[in-house]
Structure 1
Amino acid sequence: MYLFVINPRSGGGAGQRSWLRIERLLKERAAEYEALHTESASSAGSDVMQALSGREHWSACVVIGGDGTIHSVLEALRTRGVPLGIVPAGSGNDTARAFGIPLEPKAALDAALGGIRVPVDLLAGNGYTLTAVASGFDAQVAENVNASRYKRVCNALHAGRLAYLIGILHTLITFKPCRASIVCDGQEHTFEDVWLASVCNLPSYGGGLLIAPQARPDDGRLDVCVVYGCSRMQLLRLFPTVLKGSHVSLPFVTMLRGTSAAVSFERERPAIGDGESLGRGALAVRCEPGALTVLAPRAWAAADPAPQAQVGAGREGGA
């Protein structure tokens, strides 16, 4: 039995459009499933926990939505030990991108029903996060984008990355960098004029920005990107290099790696996890190895050097 969690508002209505197609495919395949519609990230987690508690065994929980919707169900899936399937229908879809899950609904459904079980790490701290816990400038960008009208317009045009780039220009005008301390595996690093400090589990966020290109979701490590000591113009020039991950070689970018990280800004800064607000203030994040199972396409697993386990029988109409 599969639980499908649908956020119809994701991606400017892409969630609902994807579900209508997925529902037809499930009926054609005579798959056994339950559907749970949610429009609020704050209530999705408890709704999913309650739904999962109603049955002993689930083949998977398949989220039709964006990274924020996935974020809201992580604790329930970890607690219940239920694999995560993804039909991407959000603005950024960085979780799907990291696991090679296609944007096309039918192909994504094929991966969810007949893919490979991939054990992956989670970032733990103020809940669970799968992509990255970001603080500073990029978190402020996300806050501004989420509150904007242009995000809805970009979603309607299927241009989620464009909304983020507009948000960068919007935020660049008013944001002021400050001193920050990053403690990684017990070793303290102090930086002046810090623009952002991102603790990453996956390579990208913000619709494909490769903030930590070397990050892997299954290595038991988190990767920290710190951008500091540069001018506004230098920061603006940095973002095109993030599209390819080449920013890591710039003199005002430092990359750290470890199993835990704490970030403290001299001034209060916003923080986000999977694009969702985590409040303001200091952060403490640790890597929790193998805490979640993700269903990925076989092609992605074949290209990945880490060994994977095949999904068991009963993918369509299983127990």
Structure 2
Amino acid sequence: MYLFIINPRSGGGSGQRTWQAVETLLKRRNIAYETLFTKSAAGAEEAVCGALSRHEAWEAAVVVGGDGTIHSVLGALQRMNVPLAVIPAGSGNDTARGFGIPLATGAALDAALTGRCTAADLLSGADGLTLTAVASGFDAQVAANVNASRYKRLCNAIGAGQLAYLFGIVHTLMTFKPCRVSVACDGREDVYETAWLVSVCNLPSYGGGLLICPQAKADDGLLDVCVVHGCSRWQLLRLFPTVFKGRHVTLPFVTMLRGRCVSVRFAEARHAIGDGESLGTGPLAVRCEPGALKVRFPQAALLALPAGSPCHASG
């Protein structure tokens, strides 16, 4: 039995359209499933726990939505020990990218039904669990501006969700001011006087494919940290094209760190996001929870996973 968790509003309505296609395929294949529709994070974890408690032999909980929808049910899936499967229908879909899950609906459904499982780490903090990244500073402000914009809805409507983030970068660049930040990684503290952003990553990308920490692995028990500091607006603007290929990591104003516990304290209030969802404007403290979540991924992606990944054949 599969539980399909659907956010019809995800991706500017893509969630509803994607679910209609998925439902047709499920009926054609005579697959046993139940559905749970959610439109916001509020109450999603409790609703998922309630649905999952009705049966014991769940194959997977399949989220039809984006990274934010996945974020809202992580606690429930961890608590109930049910694998996560994803049929991407959001603006960014970085969870799908991180696990090699196809963006095409039919192929993603195949992965959900016939794929393998890997044990993935989670980021744990005061605001709950995160799967992709906890970001603060400039890029979190970009996300806040994008989520409040009209251009996000327009870009989603034409199937170009990633474009909204490019608009958001330009929009935010005009007003954002860097400030001092303290970053402590496994107890070692470093201070950066003019920091633009600090990203703590579990997967390589967020923001619709921006490879902030290209070396990040979801099953290594470590968090990867990217700090951008000491650069001008023009240098920051020139940095962003390099992020799509992960080439920014060699720049002199980019510092990469790695550890199990990370805290971030900006001298001024700065937005923070986890899986693209707001975490407020206060200091951050996150730790890695190794192997805390089971995730289904395509068998074809097995070769792309690092050697020694804790995988097993799915039911």
Normalising TM by the smaller chain, what interval? over 0.9
Q: Which moved more, 1:276-285 or 1:35-44?
A: 35-44
Separation of aligned partners in 2, 1:251 and 1:140: 23
Quick check: 2:196–2:228 contact (8 Å CA) kept in 1?
yes
Q: Provide the secondary structure at the position in 2 that maps to 1:39.
A: coil
Q: What does 1:69-108 correspond to in 2, within 5 Å?
A: 69-108=69-108
Separation of aligned partners in 1, 2:225 and 2:27: 44
Aligned to 2:135: 134
Quick check: 1:260–1:287 contact (8 Å CA) kept in 2?
yes
Separation of aligned partners in 1, 2:314 and 2:178: 50
Aligned to 2:8: 8
Q: Which runs of 5+ in 2 are unaligned?
A: none
State the Cα deviation string for residues 11-69 of structure 1 (Å, max 9, x = none): 11111111111111111111111001111122322211211122223111000000000
Counterpart AA for 2:98: A
Separation of aligned partners in 1, 2:97 and 2:42: 24
Q: Which runs of 5+ in 1 are unaligned?
A: 314-319
Separation of aligned partners in 2, 1:24 and 1:209: 33
Offset of residue 303 of structure 1: 2.5
2:312 to 306, 310, 313: 310
Separation of aligned partners in 2, 1:282 and 1:307: 33
Offset of residue 308 of structure 1: 4.5
Q: What does 1:14-93 correspond to in 2, within 5 Å?
A: 14-93=14-93
Q: What does 1:138-217 correspond to in 2, within 5 Å?
A: 138-217=139-218
Aligned to 1:317: none
Counterpart AA for 1:171: T
The alignment-based identity, stated in percent, is: 67
Q: Which moved more, 1:51-60 or 1:278-287?
A: 51-60
State the Cα deviation string for residues 187-238 of structure 1 (Å, max 9, x = none): 0010011000000000000000000000000000000100001111110000
Offset of residue 282 of structure 1: 0.4
Separation of aligned partners in 2, 1:285 and 1:174: 28
Counterpart AA for 1:260: C
Separation of aligned partners in 1, 2:141 and 2:273: 9
Offset of residue 311 of structure 1: 3.4
Quick check: 2:117–2:314 contact (8 Å CA) kept in 1?
no
Counterpart AA for 1:34: E
Quick check: 2:91–2:162 contact (8 Å CA) kept in 1?
yes
Root-mean-square deviation (Å): 0.9
Q: Provide the secondary structure at the position in 2 that maps to 1:189.
A: strand
Counterpart AA for 1:247: H
Separation of aligned partners in 2, 1:277 and 1:89: 19
Aligned to 2:118: 118
Q: Verify: 1:282 aligned to 2:283, yes or no.
A: yes
Q: Provide the secondary structure at the position in 2 that maps to 1:280.
A: coil
Separation of aligned partners in 1, 2:24 and 2:303: 30
Quick check: 1:116–1:308 contact (8 Å CA) kept in 2?
no
Q: Verify: 1:246 aligned to 2:247, yes or no.
A: yes
Quick check: 2:219–2:309 contact (8 Å CA) kept in 1?
no
Quick check: 1:48–1:76 contact (8 Å CA) kept in 2?
yes
Offset of residue 310 of structure 1: 3.3
Aligned to 1:316: none
Separation of aligned partners in 2, 1:262 and 1:25: 45
Separation of aligned partners in 2, 1:12 and 1:120: 28
Q: Which moved more, 1:69-78 or 1:42-51?
A: 42-51
Separation of aligned partners in 1, 2:105 and 2:149: 27
State the Cα deviation string for residues 79-117 of structure 1 (Å, max 9, x = none): 110000000000000000111111111110000010011
Counterpart AA for 1:23: E
Tell me how many residue pairs correspond in the alignment: 313
Q: Which moved more, 1:204-213 or 1:19-28?
A: 19-28
Counterpart AA for 1:311: A
Offset of residue 281 of structure 1: 0.8
Relative to the length of structure 1, the TM-score reads 0.96
